[in-house]
């Protein structure tokens, strides 16, 4: 992979998968601009500190980005132990708004990679609901729809990862045909990041124990990051609308 002279924006760049994605892309020559609530502990080419739960702060962050952005990696997210409104705003509505705002700065051949989750694999069971939410094109319209169709807190993380997969799949071909910009998802399983404990608490001991036999171990963040980089690269120039499991085979055990 070669990202020389390419600008990549990575959200959630200060830790976990986001930090490893930034490292991976910079090692391949990319100029990486990080966006995160917290200052980075790694070297980046530029950094914008921002809260991705509000339209105003997202717009202010975009105003600080360069006029050309070749790739956007949406890695930032909060676990299901956060309040449901924050999960909706950061993991779905904010991600979507940021992507829509950055799109106008992306040239043909650019790409968007969204970090979903293996926990979004049951999206077909709620496809009609996710399509209806996807049809609400603005942040505020999405909030209004969710006010009329509330999501239970104990399943909100899974719900919005499902919604992200559906929105990404529906939107990807329109942008690819009209603008030559690809959009794909990666769907990690458990990953050794600072919020792994939050996911265990969210799922509960019974579910964690039940799933323990499905994989050898949680992934390392640097086992997920190269797949994100690949989907940005020219090697994946004919891949769009895909959701790629990066889970040590966990998805295969649900058949």
User: Cα 38 to chain center, whole Å?
Assistant: 18
207 pLDDT higher than 70: no
Tokens 């919604």 appear where? 163
- % the chain with pLDDT above 90: 84
Where are the domains positioned within the chain? Answer: 7-249
User: Is the pLDDT reported for residue 170 higher than 90?
Assistant: yes
Residue bearing the bigger pLDDT, 54 or 217: 54
Given the DSSP bridges, would you call strands 7-11 and 71-74 parallel, antiparallel or unpaired? parallel
Q: How many CA atoms lie within 13 A of 124 on its CB side?
A: 1
The pLDDT value recorded for residue 255 is 77
Structure confidence at residue 251 as a pLDDT band (50, 70, 90): confident
**What is the average pLDDT value for the chain, to the nearest integer?**
94
What digits encode the pLDDT tens for the residues 112-132? Answer: 999 999 999 999 999 999 999
Q: What is the rounded average pLDDT of the residues 84-99? A: 98
Catalytic machinery residues: 157
Confidence of residue 194 (pLDDT cuts 50, 70, 90): confident
User: Which two structure tokens, joined as six digits, stand for 56?
Assistant: 């105003």
Least confident among 149-163, 180-194, 196-210? 196-210
Spatial contact of 110 and 70, defined as CB atoms under 8 Å apart? yes
According to the CATH classification, is domain 7-249 in 3.40.50.720? Answer: yes
Residue 197: pLDDT above 90?
no
E strand or H helix at 10: strand 7-11
- pLDDT of 203: 60
Residues 43-53 have pLDDT tens digits of 999 999 999 99
pLDDT tens-digit map of 3-15: 999 999 999 999 9
């Amino acid at each position: 992979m070669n990202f020389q002279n390419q600008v990549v924006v990575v959200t959630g760049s200060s830790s976990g998968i986001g930090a490893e994605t930034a490292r991976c892309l910079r090692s391949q020559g990319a100029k990486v601009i990080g966006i995160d609530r917290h200052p980075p502990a790694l070297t980046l080419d530029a950094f914008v500190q921002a809260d991705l739960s509000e339209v105003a702060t997202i717009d202010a962050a975009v105003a600080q980005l360069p006029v050309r952005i070749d790739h956007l990696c949406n890695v930032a997210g909060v676990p299901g132990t956060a309040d449901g409104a924050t999960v909706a705003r950061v993991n779905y509505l904010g991600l979507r708004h940021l992507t829509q705002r950055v799109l106008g700065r992306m040239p043909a051949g650019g790409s968007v990679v969204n970090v979903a989750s293996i926990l979004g694999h049951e999206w077909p069971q709620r496809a009609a609901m996710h399509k209806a939410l996807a049809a609400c094109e603005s942040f505020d319209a999405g909030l209004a729809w969710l006010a009329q169709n509330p999501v239970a807190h104990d399943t909100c993380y899974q719900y919005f990862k499902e919604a992200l997969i559906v929105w990404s799949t529906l939107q990807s071909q329109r942008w690819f045909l009209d603008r030559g910009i690809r959009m794909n998802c990666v769907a990690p399983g458990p990953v050794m990041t600072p919020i792994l404990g939050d996911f265990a608490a969210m799922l509960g001991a019974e579910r964690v124990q039940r799933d323990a036999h499905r994989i050898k171990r949680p992934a390392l963040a640097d086992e997920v990051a190269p797949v994100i980089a690949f989907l940005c690269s020219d090697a994946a120039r004919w891949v769009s609308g895909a959701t790629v499991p990066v889970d040590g085979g966990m998805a295969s055990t649900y058949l």
